[in-house]
């Protein structure tokens, strides 16, 4: 059974969705301002709000759909871990390249 600590859990789906919706709404509001400003802006300055009105929808969708960074595998605070050779050892003492697991060999975790 996989145990996750509270610090390694991703944000709640509702909170993540709300954050993405807020980002999308802000970007689309900027796009609306770009579209409205096309009425008053003249000359070469017209290209700036036009580019915003054209490219902001793409960026808004990409930003809204980007996956939030997920943490690495949850840290296991302790417990007994079974090694590849069938021996058992405590989870806090991770075996190094030259470590010997003779102190925890063949211990039954249920005993």
Secondary structure class of 82 (helix, strand, coil): strand
Report in angstroms the alpha-carbon separations of 80 from 83, 102, 108.
Answer: 10, 14, 9
The angle formed by the CA atoms of residues 21, 55 and 38, to the nearest 5 degrees, is 105
Question: Virtual CA dihedral for 36, 42, 47, 49, nearest 10 degrees?
Answer: -20
Question: Given pLDDT bands bounded at 50, 70 and 90, which one contains residue 86?
Answer: confident
pLDDT of 13 reads 81
Question: Given pLDDT bands bounded at 50, 70 and 90, which one contains residue 77?
Answer: low
Q: Does residue 88 form part of some domain?
A: yes
Q: Does residue 29 form part of some domain?
A: yes
In tens, the pLDDT along 15-46 reads 888 888 999 999 999 999 999 999 999 999 99
Together in a domain, 60 and 82: no
Q: Does residue 4 form part of some domain?
A: no
Question: Given pLDDT bands bounded at 50, 70 and 90, which one contains residue 101?
Answer: very low
Domain that holds residue 54: 13-65
How many structural domains compose the chain?
A: 2
Q: Which of 63, 72, 64, 81 is nearest to 9 (CA)?
A: 72
């Amino acid at each position: 059974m996989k145990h996750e600590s509270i610090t390694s859990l991703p944000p709640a789906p509702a909170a993540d969705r709300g954050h993405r919706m807020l980002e999308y709404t802000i970007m689309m509001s900027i796009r609306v301002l770009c579209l409205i400003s096309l009425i008053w802006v003249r000359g070469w300055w017209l290209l700036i709000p036009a580019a915003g009105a054209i490219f902001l929808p793409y960026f808004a969708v990409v930003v809204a759909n980007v996956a939030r960074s997920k943490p690495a595998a949850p840290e296991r605070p302790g417990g007994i871990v079974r090694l590849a050779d069938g021996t058992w050892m405590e989870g806090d003492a991770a075996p190094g390249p030259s470590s010997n697991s003779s102190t925890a060999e063949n211990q039954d975790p249920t005993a």
